[in-house]
Amino acid sequence: MNKQYEQELEQAKVNLTDVRERGEDALGETWDELRQEIFTPEEIAASDLRVAMMIEIAHARKERGISQKRLEEISGVRQPIIARMEKGYTSPQIDTVLKVLAPLGKTLYIGDLPKTR
Q: How far apart are the C-alpha atoms of 53 and 97, rounded to whole Å?
A: 9
**91 CB-near residues (< 8 Å, 6+ apart):** 50
Q: What pLDDT is stored for residue 34 in this prediction?
A: 78
Q: Is the dihedral of CA 58, 112, 92, 77 positive or negative?
A: positive
Condensed to tens digits (0 to 9), the pLDDT of residues 1-42 reads: 578 777 777 878 777 777 677 665 555 567 778 788 888 888
Q: What pLDDT is stored for residue 25 in this prediction?
A: 52
Q: What pLDDT is stored for residue 56 in this prediction?
A: 93
Provide the whole-model pTM: 0.66
Alpha helices by DSSP H, 64-89: 68-75, 79-87
Condensed to tens digits (0 to 9), the pLDDT of residues 50-87 reads: 889 999 999 999 999 999 999 999 999 999 999 999 99
Q: What pLDDT is stored for residue 24 in this prediction?
A: 53
User: Residue 111's pLDDT band (boundaries 50, 70, 90)?
Assistant: confident
